[in-house]
Amino acid sequence: MVDNNCIFCKIAAGEIPSTTLYEDEDFRVILDLGPATKGHALLIPKAHFADLFALDDTLGAKALVTAKLIASRMKKALKADGFNLVQNNGEVAGQTVFHFHMHLIPRYKGDKAGILWEPKTTTPEEMQEVERLVRGC
């Protein structure tokens, strides 16, 4: 349920101080210490799940509902022009803290936060291969 060596377990439990924007029985939403933009926050479940694949389904559904609620409040309060929800899984995907979390990132015109990717090319063969592999799984 909780991992004693996990910093987000300690933050979610309130054992390590954080700037908390929201808290309920399942989640804490805190400000990120290395923000992409003003107000960048993290939604952290109080129970330990390493990543999306380990996450409890009921809690996962509630995480999105809670993210929507807090993102709506943040967009209004901070007068953001847009919003990114980002969720990284695995080192190669940019995950650095191995306790599931969602990034709530308010966006402002001209903020230059480097969140989006450069589109690459694909081929019909590659697309068909992916379709075959995933649908056949």
3-state DSSP percent of the chain in helix, strand and coil, to 5: 30, 20, 50
Q: How far apart are CA 11 and CA 61, in angstroms?
A: 22
Phi-psi region of 34 (alpha: psi -120 to 50; beta: other; left: phi over 0): beta
Q: Which is nearer to ligand AMP, 7 or 127 (CB)?
A: 7
88 binds ligand AMP (CB under 6 A): yes
Residue 20 binding result from Zn ion, ligand AMP, none, given CB thresholds of 5 to 8 Å by partner type: none
Q: Which is nearer to ligand AMP, 33 or 137 (CB)?
A: 33
Q: Is 14 in the site for ligand AMP (CB under 6 A)?
A: no
Which of the residues 52 through 111 are near Zn ion (CB under 5 A)? 99
CA 130, CA 135: separation in Å to the nearest integer? 8
119 secondary structure, DSSP code: P
Size of the site for Zn ion (CB under 5 A): 6
Q: Tell me how far, at minimum, the Cβ of 46 lies from ligand AMP, in Å.
A: 15
Instruction: Indicate whether 9 belongs to the interface with Zn ion (CB under 5 A).
Output: yes
How many other CB atoms are there within 10 angstroms of residue 35's CB atom?
Answer: 15
Residues that bind Zn ion (CB under 5 A): 3, 6, 8-9, 48, 99
